[in-house]
Amino acid sequence: MNRLYDIIKDPKRVILENIEEKYLTDTLGRVAGTAQALVFPKTTDEVSKIMKYAYENDIPVTPRGAGTNLVGSTVPLEGGIVLDVSQMDQILEIDKETFTATVEPGVVLKDFQAAVEKEGLFYPPDPGEKTATIGGNISTNAGGMRAVKYGVTRDYVRSLEIVLPDGQVMTAGTKTVKDSSGLPLKHLIIGSEGTLGIITKAVVKLIVKPQISIGVLLPFADLKTGIHAVLNVIRGNVDPTAIEFVEKKVIALGEEYTGLSFPYPKAKAYIILTLDGDDKGEILKRIDKIRDIAKNNGALDTLVLEDPRIQDTVWQIRGCLVKAVEAKSEQIPVDIVVPIDKSAEFIDYVNHLEEKTGVTMVSFGHAGDGNVHLCVVRGNRNDEEWEQISSKVMEKIYDKSHELGGLTSGEHGIGISKKTYFLKATPSVNLQIMKQIKSAIDPKNLLNPKKVFQ
């Protein structure tokens, strides 16, 4: 591994001893791997030379960014080199003529969004963890709350510079809007969780920033009624930016965690919407339509969040829910996605399973696209009890989602923690093709081994 000092001249960016555990795990820290080296490249050339060295010497490489992953994608299961791109953190260009930005993979999402908004532009993908990196978002095809209107990360990637497992550098895509020129290779990399290549540069699409954003809170007596109302909101052609659902019991945890108070405390469940645009009058007309739909679909009230402080409070509490649950007890985060018309049926199943098993399951998520987030809560169970009951509960949850036509993950990825459920649900021919692609690009199986489908 001393050869790495010849590639990266700065010894502070090559660590061969006493590697901190945070670089050997993910944000939950429940599974840790081992590594013989931790490197912090700053250029594509350094990444290329590291990968060539690793390939020639059969050394596994695990890429990582900010380490906010929830499913173990950044855990080095086979040892070798942990390649941390967090110091490749430059916004190289904001091109107003083509509505694109060129960024390095270690750029933090919240910093990037703030930078483009200063230019009157907008990067819509908005996953909950704003300290994640753009490279990590691309590697998991991150979604977030605004997906119902604007789509997910994949919809905003125009081009990628990628270092392949053998050190070759490839560019897939350009700044152009259209591309019907051969196989769309960039789409193999998007969502691949670092198993096929290391992203060293990305060109992403921007749009003009909406001038106005107004929130709406719909309280309900129960979650089932609220989820059913969502379909009618979507049918109402009101063009919401985000549609979130959340139960009162998890709001209470968010309030305790933040010290803030959520509006309309007597409700048992809430639907939170955001609408954006440039004409306030037009947005308010859409809100009037929502008010009528809500009244006819069991809402207890319609609260228009025009006060920025109240709107910030609502979204602050919604945004901290995973951390709020984790502060009370260890939990297993789930981000199953089902067809939107099956969301209510899936959540109803989860609630019955909670009653049957006694395992607390806190649900919230993106009602507009069927992405259901669950926190399966450990409580005071010992290791043996938790291992036995959690494995049974998780299997039932995933089986039900697949029965309804859903998928194992909507935006967190598969990593290692969801691998069992993914392999069980995915047709053998699909897995065979994935493995053939992996073998063609990484014949030595050195890049992020034992993840996803491996």
pLDDT over 90 (residue 324): no
Specify the pLDDT at position 339. 93
3-state secondary structure of 17: coil
Q: What is the pLDDT of residues 60-70, one digit of tens each?
A: 999 999 999 99
Q: Do the first three CATH levels of 91-208 and 329-413 match, i.e. the same topology? A: no
pLDDT over 90 (residue 344): no
Q: What is the pLDDT of residues 350-394, one digit of tens each?
A: 989 999 999 999 888 888 888 998 889 999 999 999 999 999 999
Residue whose C-alpha is closest to residue 246's, from 154, 144, 319: 319
CATH (residue range 4-84): 3.30.43.10
> CATH second-level architecture of 329-413?
2-Layer Sandwich (3.30)
Specify the pLDDT at position 318. 86
Specify the pLDDT at position 247. 87
pLDDT over 90 (residue 102): yes
End-to-end CA distance of the chain: 26
Cα–Cα distance measured from residue 371 to residue 337, given in angstroms and rounded to the nearest whole number? 4
Contact between residue 80 and residue 90 where contact means Cβ atoms under 8 Å apart:
no
89 pLDDT tier (thresholds 50, 70, 90): very high
Q: What is the pLDDT of residues 182-209, one digit of tens each?
A: 999 999 999 999 999 999 999 999 999 9
Cα–Cα distance measured from residue 157 to residue 142, given in angstroms and rounded to the nearest whole number? 12
pTM of the shown model = 0.94
37 pLDDT tier (thresholds 50, 70, 90): very high
Strands (E), 248-300: 269-277
Q: What is the pLDDT of residues 219-268, one digit of tens each?
A: 999 888 998 898 899 899 999 999 999 988 889 989 999 999 999 999 99
Q: Ramachandran region of residue 61, left (φ > 0), alpha (ψ -120 to 50) or beta?
A: beta
Q: What is the pLDDT of residues 152-173, one digit of tens each?
A: 999 999 999 999 999 999 999 9
Residue ranges of domains in the chain = 4-84, 91-208, 212-321, 329-413
Q: Would you state the structure tokens that stand for residue 354, as one six-digit string? A: 């909670």
Percent of the chain with pLDDT over 90: 82
CATH (residue range 212-321): 3.30.70.2190
Averaged pLDDT, 135-147 = 94
Q: Which CATH number fits domain 91-208: 3.20.20.450, 3.20.20.220, 3.40.640.10, 3.30.465.10?
A: 3.30.465.10
